[in-house]
Chain A
Amino acid sequence: MNLDVLAGCMTTAACAVTQVSTGLIVGMLLFLVASGLSLIFGVLGVVNFAHGVFYMLGAYFAFVTYEQTGSFLLALLAGASGAGLAGIVFERFFMSRVYGQDLLMQLLVCYAAILICDDLVKIIFGADYKLMGMPESFATAPVELAGGFIPGYYIFMLAMALGVGAALWLGINRTRLGKIIRALAINPQMVGALGINTRLLYAGVFGLGCLLAGLAGALAAPVRTLTPGMGLSVLIESFIVTVIGGMGSIPGALIAAILIGLTRAFGAIGFPLFVDGLMFALMGLVLILRPSGLLGAKVS
């Protein structure tokens, strides 16, 4: 434990700025993954234990597209839409067959999906680490703020994640389609009776959730190493985020994701060996004090 170092960092503007920006980036990636997880749970009532797979797919799709075309914009699009399509396929052919069945069966389908996809990625891309590198358009000098340096790409990621989050929130709360989706979460029979294709909607929502995970993976590709199985730790962390923020709440996911991101960034300085422990302590505390999460609806 290095409490002195932590205190030193928090009182020095330069170090604090650097750590806050790192924390925010971690938080934004978690927010994107967690809001997809939360959306799927909120509407379909299932937890997608295989959500990390789509984050991984997003990263690898972006990596390949960037290698082939050199365009980072295309890479982002390919990562997000590829993961979204994979999500729709997964929902239609596998997940939808175990709705309403034992949790055991849902768990096993997700478990199988993770095993298969991790192995496929290993076969296609190899088991070794992959580095995508920073896209050229972002290879500019970092922005200086109060003595700390923030890479330009971080600012882009932050804006992107917040923009997507805002669009998602507006889409769900302010549009007709959003209204239908919210109705679907409450009374699917009624929505079906109104002549709306609920299956299509389910697949769409599932795909949208996976698209968000894929976008996070694509955004992470320039700053993280790519490995088969990279989705797992993100899955666990984004689940912690949904628990803390409250299942089904997008603003809650944002707050919790930032909280976890900052905890990780500063925890890494203060308690390098106990960063995970801090996250779990935070989650345990929330579960004991507010079992439904900070902004979640009451769990009955």
Chain B
Amino acid sequence: MRQGLIRDLTLGLLGLALLLVLPAVFPHPSLRDFLIYVIAYGLLAMSLNLLVGLTGLVSFGHAAYFATGAYIFGLLMQSGSVSIPLAMLAALAGTALLALVIGAICVRLKEIYFSFITLAFQMFIHSIILTWVDLTGGDQGLRGGIPRPPFLGIDLGQPGTLYIFCAVVFVLCLLLMRQVWQSPFGYTLRMIRDNPTRASFLGVNVVRMKLGVFVLAGTMASMAGIIMALFVSGAFPEFGFWTTSGEAIFMIMLGGTQVFLGPVIGAFLLQLLNHYVTIYTHHHGLVLGILILAIVLGLRRGVADYVADWISERRRAAAPLGREEGAETAPPTPPAARKMVG
């Protein structure tokens, strides 16, 4: 148990070192920008996977919390009365409260209902952002830039410092989520994912556990939104649009639901794809949509899950009979919603 923690911390430090060294080795500003996008969307996808992969709750409205974090943080900073850490804390707390209220209604519902209601609430948040023009700037977004006053000797106005700050926060959040995955709480969520009825017959308060992870995931998404707001120095309604949620789901699917870091890989792949697609065409949705269809209907599972299965197949073929080294093979996608029809 202690070993696991030490191993995770070591890997976390190594990952952080890699993130910090990369821009130093390739000193191109666009690489740093690219990595910050991966960090922000990776964190969003990772937080969503607490619901999808760990608990079997397919939320289609996760971007609502991403946007809420960005807007609360941006508005507080623009008010000029609070420091960056305080505004961050307030944004996290505010989002947690919102997730608590919305979650209390959503987590009682099953599968498809849950997906649709989370989507509906997201559109509600989006419409508030659009209509409350005085506060949010409507469809123009929070304009005028978000001030980044130095705190504790850290000046996030420097692009380099901002990058380091984002990387550190990112790795800290990943370590926190890793802890959730490996905690008794995380294993109880796996029980709920596999068989909620049985879990409730084993003394697990399923509704309350789901609400707990819903709030946790929303808060983590809020952190991703804060990073985004810091980086682009603004907040925009698209942060809370349904396409952002859809992209987060696609990132998870690209990276696989059962590999812990899968969603980050998915975020990286999608950002790479976006980068090249926007160079060649304006019809980004068309290309992305066709790609999604090809993967979903062609591979019939996530890319990372496909690769993991392929590797374990190979290993099984290579290993002598009866000595299967399959301990690390990824379990199949969760039986989140096996709605059988036909």
Contacts and interface: CB of A to CB of B under 8 A. Distances in A.
A127 to B, nearest CB: 10
B283 A119 contact: yes
A236 B119 contact: yes
B342 A103 contact: no
Interface stretch (A1-9, A43-51, A75-83, A164-172): A43-51
Nearest to A109: B296
Contact of A100 (B60, B131, B286, B339): B339
Interface stretch (A128-136, A173-181, A253-261, A283-291): A283-291
B286 A107 contact: no
Interface residues of A, number: 52
Contacts of A277: 124, 128
Nearest to A116: B289
Contacts of A239: 116, 119-120
B93 interface: no
A260 to B, nearest CB: 12
Contact of B105 (A97, A112, A284): A284
Given A94-B293, A116-B285, A243-B117, A111 B246 contact: yes
Contacts of B111: 103
A156 interface: no
Interface centre among B132, B292, B342 (most CB of A within 10 A): B342
A120 interface: yes
Nearest to B130: A276
Interface string B284-309: 11101110110011001100000000
B100 interface: no
A211 interface: no
B207 interface: no
B31 interface: no
A119 B289 contact: yes
B301 to A, nearest CB: 8
A112 B293 contact: yes
A291 B60 contact: no
B299 to A, nearest CB: 10
Contact of A119 (B60, B121, B286, B340): B286
B88 interface: no
B285 A118 contact: yes
Given A102-B338, A107-B58, A111-B292, A273 B105 contact: no
Contacts of B44: none
Contact of A188 (B110, B112, B336, B341): B341
Contacts of B340: 45, 99-100
Contact of B250 (A102, A108, A116, A202): A108
Contacts of B252: 104
Interface string B113-157: 101110111011001100110000000000000000000000000
Contacts of B132: 273
Interface string A181-219: 000000010000000001100100000000000000000
B339 A299 contact: no
Given A112-B296, A115-B285, A239-B120, A107 B342 contact: no
A141 interface: no
Interface string B257-288: 10000000000000000000000000111101
B117 A104 contact: no
Nearest to B286: A119
B257 A112 contact: no
B71 interface: no
Contacts of B105: 284, 287-288
A68 interface: no
B337 A280 contact: no
A146 interface: no
A11 interface: no
Interface in A259-276: 273, 276
Contact of A112 (B112, B289, B300, B339): B289
11 contacts: A45-B340, A47-B112, A49-B115, A104-B58, A107-B58, A107-B115, A108-B292, A113-B293, A199-B342, A236-B123, A273-B132
Interface of B: 52, 58, 60, 105, 108-113, 115-117, 119-121, 123-124, 127-128, 131-132, 242-243, 246, 249-250, 252-253, 257, 283-286, 288-290, 292-293, 296-297, 300-301, 333-334, 336-342
Interface of A: 41, 44-47, 49, 94, 96-105, 107-109, 111-116, 118-120, 122-123, 188, 198-199, 202, 232-233, 236, 239-240, 243, 247, 273, 276-277, 280, 283-284, 287-288, 291, 299
8 nearest A-B pairs in the assembled complex, by CB-CB distance: A103-B337, A115-B289, A116-B289, A115-B285, A112-B292, A119-B286, A112-B289, A119-B285
